[in-house]
Amino acid sequence: MSEELKAAIVQDDATGRVLMLGWMDEEALALTRSSGLVHFFSRSRQRLWQKGETSGNVLHVVEVVLDCDADAVLVRATADGPTCHDGSTSCFTPWLWRTVLQRERAQSEDSYVVALLRDGPGRIARKVGEEAVELVVAALSEEDERVVSEAADLWFHTLVLLRSRGLDPAAVEDELRRRAISR
């Protein structure tokens, strides 16, 4: 069976973002086409599965395209909820965001991310304000190393603020892309 598997790339139809990579056998490909929901063949469990069958985060098929020699599949889809099991919009998530999610999930007592999230958006928003001012000061009067350090603080706290509001940085990217297109 496994020699017949095709790599299947799922791309968000609206944004073009690559959401995940899975594997499809003929049955998964046929079911994906006929049901309108993305199905894969799990190599680890050696069985067919429907994306979102337990989480409810299904992928609705917009278009299925085979590549030139028919051994890879591009699925354009719309996603119900986050595609990645870690809660991200995409499996191909920037390192810093993945780290924030991992810290939150681990819930360790000495984690700064966990402490911030417990305090909620009010405290985190204040931190973002402080870090923004510190970045401005550094940019105007301090050496490059300080500017980099303060920019890192601002980016980090901004991501935690998004998380505390239940938002994903992918939404920010989408907004920036939308503006770039409209200008």
* Residues that bind Zn ion in the complex, under the rule CB under 5 A: 84, 91
Return the number of the residue (37 or 91) whose C-beta is nearest Zn ion: 91
167's CB contacts (< 8 A; 6+ apart) are none
Smallest gap from residue 53 Cβ to Zn ion (A)? 15
Do residues 9 and 75 lie in contact, with contact meaning Cβ atoms separated by under 8 Å? Answer: yes
Hey, what are 167's tokens?
């938002």
Smallest gap from residue 42 Cβ to Zn ion (A)? 13
Taking alpha carbons only, the member of 30, 88, 99, 101 closest to residue 57 is 88
Return the number of the residue (32 or 83) whose C-beta is nearest Zn ion: 83
Return the number of the residue (29 or 82) whose C-beta is nearest Zn ion: 82
Smallest gap from residue 1 Cβ to Zn ion (A)? 23
Do residues 160 and 118 lie in contact, with contact meaning Cβ atoms separated by under 8 Å? Answer: no
Alpha carbon distance 74, 78 (integer Å): 13
Return the number of the residue (7 or 115) whose C-beta is nearest Zn ion: 7
Taking alpha carbons only, the member of 31, 23, 19, 34 closest to residue 80 is 19
Smallest gap from residue 23 Cβ to Zn ion (A)? 14
Return the number of the residue (87 or 147) whose C-beta is nearest Zn ion: 87
Smallest gap from residue 85 Cβ to Zn ion (A)? 5
